[in-house]
């Protein structure tokens, strides 16, 4: 029995291959996997610890998320170095290993590397952060998680979409929350020609001021946009803190505008086209 155990022990200690003078056996690979797995577990524990430590602090939620994520990355990097040291790979020997990895990256890992680097840029520069309302390549919603490779965006329909981090760096991104916790809404409406334009302005301002979710400062403004084909076009502009559910607020304002216009006998026209038929006598000669 002891002889069999000795043979198995010698077998798993037998080098399988060698890279730059470093010999790798089954035992060293198993030990490296265990160390790396423990470092991943420890990184998650460290991330949770930092999150709990920062809870209740007067710090921006995005900054808290960046700090906790960087902590996890740092622990994983340290664990990776310890793992390499466990199998006998020194930092000076990483050049050969790096060359092997670069070949793999060149063949199929460009996208993963690009997204990982983009994730680091997002955490450092913070063009977006947790809780921001963003729109990128037709996807609009709230940022709920920023990961190493991708970012999770929850839409207003409660659908979670996985967006690669590189899109937030390479594409044009609309961040409705970047400049603060308020947004200006634009509600367009047209009235019939001949309507008292100052009366329209007054009614639209009253409608804007009557909305509870519209900010008093800056107050509602009315812009005479243009002379349309069949209407005089106006735009009511209001400020609100309803960044997430602003479509419902715009709908409420439109309902109120319709009711106010009916009460004040202000007509909202619809496009009309006049069709003129011109007849001619055609004489046919044989």
pLDDT in tens, 249-276: 999 999 999 999 999 999 998 776 666 6
Higher pLDDT: 254 or 48? It is 254
CATH number of the domain enclosing 104:
1.10.287.1260
Q: What's the gap between Cα 69 and its chain centre? A: 17
pLDDT tens-digit readout, 84-129: 777 666 655 555 556 656 665 555 567 777 887 888 888 778 888 8
Could you list the residue range(s) of the whole structural domain that residue 152 is in? 133-175
What backbone phi and psi angles, to 5 degrees, belong to 195? Answer: -75, 145
Residues sharing a CB contact under 8 Å with residue 195, sequence separation 6 or more, in sequence order: 232, 266, 267
Query: Using an 8 Å Cβ cutoff, are 269 and 192 in contact?
Result: yes
Query: Using an 8 Å Cβ cutoff, are 273 and 256 in contact?
Result: no
- What is the total count of domains within the chain? 3
What backbone phi and psi angles, to 5 degrees, belong to 178? Answer: -65, -40
Residue 139 CB neighbour total at 10 angstroms: 14
Residue 233 domain flag? yes
Lowest-pLDDT range of 53-57, 139-143, 170-174 = 53-57
Higher pLDDT: 169 or 111? It is 169
Shared-domain flag, residues 116 and 23: yes
Query: Using an 8 Å Cβ cutoff, are 162 and 144 in contact?
Result: no
Q: Report the DSSP beta bridge partners of residue 161.
A: 153
* C-alpha distances in Å from residue 87, one per residue of 18, 25, 252: 11, 9, 66
**Residue 222: predicted pLDDT:** 96
Cα separation, 189 vs 180, in Å, equals 28
202 token code pair: 């007054």
Residue 275 domain flag? no
Residue with tokens 């709990």: 52
Shared-domain flag, residues 69 and 113: yes
Shared-domain flag, residues 169 and 190: no
Nearest in space to 267 (alpha carbons), one of 201, 199, 195, 211: 195
CATH number of the domain enclosing 167:
2.30.30.60
Length of the chain: 286
**Residue 94: predicted pLDDT:** 59
pLDDT tens-digit readout, 210-246: 999 999 999 999 999 999 888 999 999 999 998 888 8
Phi-psi region of 180 (alpha: psi -120 to 50; beta: other; left: phi over 0): left
């Amino acid at each position: 029995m002891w002889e069999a155990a000795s043979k198995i022990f010698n077998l798993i200690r037998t080098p399988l291959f060698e890279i730059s003078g470093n010999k790798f056996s089954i035992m060293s690979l198993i030990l490296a996997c265990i160390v790396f797995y423990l470092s991943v577990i420890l990184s998650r524990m460290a991330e949770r610890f930092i999150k709990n430590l920062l809870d209740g602090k007067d710090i921006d939620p995005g900054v808290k998320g960046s700090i906790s994520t960087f902590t996890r990355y740092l622990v994983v990097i340290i664990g990776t170095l310890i793992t390499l040291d466990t199998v006998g790979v020194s930092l000076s020997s990483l050049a050969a290993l790096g060359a092997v990895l670069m070949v793999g990256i060149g063949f199929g890992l460009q996208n993963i590397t690009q997204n990982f680097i983009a994730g680091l840029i997002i955490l450092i520069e913070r063009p977006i952060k947790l809780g921001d309302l963003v729109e990128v390549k037709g996807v609009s919603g709230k940022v709920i998680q920023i990961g190493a490779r991708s970012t999770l965006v929850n839409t207003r329909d409660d659908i979670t979409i996985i967006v690669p981090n590189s899109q937030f760096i390479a594409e044009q991104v609309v961040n409705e929350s970047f400049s603060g916790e308020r947004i200006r809404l634009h509600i367009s409406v047209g009235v019939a020609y001949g309507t008292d334009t100052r009366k329209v302005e007054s009614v639209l301002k009253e409608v804007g001021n009557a909305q509870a979710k519209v900010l008093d400062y800056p107050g509602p403004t009315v812009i005479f946009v243009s002379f349309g084909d069949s209407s005089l076009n106006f735009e009511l502009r209001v400020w609100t803190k309803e960044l997430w559910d602003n479509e419902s607020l715009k709908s409420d304002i439109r309902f109120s505008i319709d009711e106010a216009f009916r009460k004040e006998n202000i007509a909202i026209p619809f496009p009309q086209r006049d069709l003129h038929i011109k007849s001619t006598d055609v004489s046919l000669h044989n």
